[in-house]
Amino acid sequence: MEELIPSEFYLSQNFPNPFWEKTVIKYCLPISAKVNLILLNPKGTKIKTMVDKIQAAGTYELKYEGHDLPVGIYYYQIKLTDPELTNKNTSKKKSKQLYAETKQMLHRKQK
């Protein structure tokens, strides 16, 4: 079966939210893009890079295990740039941002 290509960029709310051990983040790319998906604390400091690579058009699902994460509110942020302008020989100022979005998630205690 042929995979359908999304018609627009999209970042889903993680599920489940709140989560304890594991959560899933889905995102859609209508075209190939350099994907940078990071986890931030409430102050906006990067905790972890979850994805940092060029990906083809399609729908992606990231399974995140947060067992080492303290209980609290966190944010995940996606930034998509044009892969044609994003390489080691090009400065970041020249990369064309295609999409950016930030969402909140809650890490809770085990029941």
Token pair belonging to 77: 């942020």
Q: Which of 24, 29, 34 is nearest to 4 (CA)?
A: 29
Average pLDDT for 29-43: 96
Q: Which of 73, 75, 71, 76 is nearest to 110 (CA)?
A: 71
Percent of the chain with pLDDT over 90: 72
- Full set of structural domains in the chain with CATH: 10-107 (2.60.40.1930)
14 pLDDT above the threshold of 90: yes
Q: pTM here?
A: 0.86
Report pLDDT digits (tens) over 21-35: 899 999 999 999 999
Q: List the strands of the sheet with 33-40, edge to edge.
A: 46-55, 33-40, 72-81, 97-107
Average pLDDT for 89-108: 82
